[in-house]
Amino acid sequence: MRLMPFRASANNAVVCQPPRLRIWGKAYEPGSEIPEWDYLTEVTIEGELSIKNDLLLSSTGLARNPGLAVIRAVLRVDCPATGKRFLGISPLNNSDQPVSLKVRVPAGEAAEELEVRYEIVLDAPDGPAPENRAAHQRGSRLYGLNRPYRFRLEGDGSSFPIEAFEFAGGDFPTGSVWVLKFQDEDLAVPYLSAVRLYVNTAHSEGGKLVHGKSDTALSVLKRDVLLQLLLKLAVHDRDDLGVEYQEGSAGAVIGSLCDIFLGQPLRGAVELMRDDPGRVCALLQRTTGFLKAKS
C-alpha cells in the first residue's frame, strides 16, 4: 500500500484488462515469447480500462465540475534496456464504457523487455490544496498498478539495436543503406553499448527497413551484420573468444548468434571465418533466409 499526499482512487473503481502486444498482425499476451520481433520492427501495445466514474470521483474527492474532464487514462510503456518511455493517453468516457488505449513503439527504440502499466492521472493546471485533500497538481497519479505487465522481446533479430537518420557523408556515406559500429576491445561490456547499427532513412531501402516494409532487405541486413561482427573479431589474434560471458554482454550475444546461425561457438565461428570465409558467407545465406521475403 502506498501513502499519497492526496486522495487516490479506490482500487475497485478501476478494472484493468491485460494489455496485448501486436506485431505483424498477431497479438501476444504478457509473458509470451515474441519470435517475430526484431529491432527493425515497430510494435503496438493495446490496453483497456473499465472505470466506475462515480466511485472514482467520490474516492478521489474531485469535484463533479469539471470532474472527468480533467482526468486522463494512461498506458505507460517503459523499456529498461534503452531508457525510453512511450505513452498512450485518453480522456475518460462520460459513461462507464471501457477506455481503449494504444501505444506505438517505433523500430529501433526498444530492446530486451517492455514493461506496461496503467495509470489514471490528473490533467489540470496546478491549484491551491483543497481542504478535502483532493489532488491539485497536474500529473498527480490517482491510480496505478505497482507491478507491471511484461513483454519479453525474443525474436531471432533481437540483437540489432539501431539508430535511423539521414546520412550526410563522412563516417556515414550518403549512398549506403546502413553502417555498423562495433567496439570490440572488451567483449564483456553490454552488447547494447558495444554494437550499434545506423540506418540511412534517405535511402529508399533504409526507409523501408525502419518501417518494417522490406523483408528482403532485412534478410540481407542480418547476413551483413553477422559477417561484419565476425570479420572484426577475425582480423587479429584474440585470447578472449573462449571466455564464458555474462548474459547480455557483447561476447554472450554474438556467441549466441554464432550458435543460432552457424551452429558454432564464438571461437569456432571466428576460426571458420579466418580459414574459410566463403563457407561462412554461404552458410549465412541459408540460415538468414538471404534474399527471401516472408511468405
Q: Residue 193 burial by CB count (10 A; 0-12/13-18/19+): exposed, middle or buried?
A: exposed
Tell me the CATH class for 11-153: mainly beta
pLDDT score at 88: 96
Domain boundaries, the chain: 11-153, 162-287
> Once rounded to an integer, what is the mean pLDDT over residues 228-237?
95
Q: Note the pLDDT tens digit of each residue in 247-269.
A: 878 899 899 899 989 999 999 99
CB 216 within 8 A of CB 204: no
pLDDT band at 132 (very low <50, low <70, confident <90, very high): low
> Once rounded to an integer, what is the mean pLDDT over residues 51-68?
78
Q: Read off the C-alpha cell for 269.
A: 565461428
**Pairing mode, strands 43-51 and 71-79:** unpaired
Q: Note the pLDDT tens digit of each residue in 158-202.
A: 555 678 889 998 999 999 999 999 999 999 988 877 888 899 989
Residue 285 has pLDDT above 90, yes or no: yes
pTM (predicted TM-score): 0.59
**Pairing mode, strands 43-51 and 99-105:** antiparallel
pLDDT band at 1 (very low <50, low <70, confident <90, very high): very low
Average pLDDT, the chain: 85
> Once rounded to an integer, what is the mean pLDDT over residues 212-226?
82
Q: Which of 79-83, 84-88, 218-222 is the most confident on average?
A: 84-88
- Considering only CA atoms, which of 214, 212, 211, 202 is closest in space to residue 178? 202
Q: Residue 239 burial by CB count (10 A; 0-12/13-18/19+): exposed, middle or buried?
A: exposed
How far is CA 281 from each of CA 19, 47, 195, 240, 254, rounded to the nearest angstrom? 41, 44, 21, 24, 16
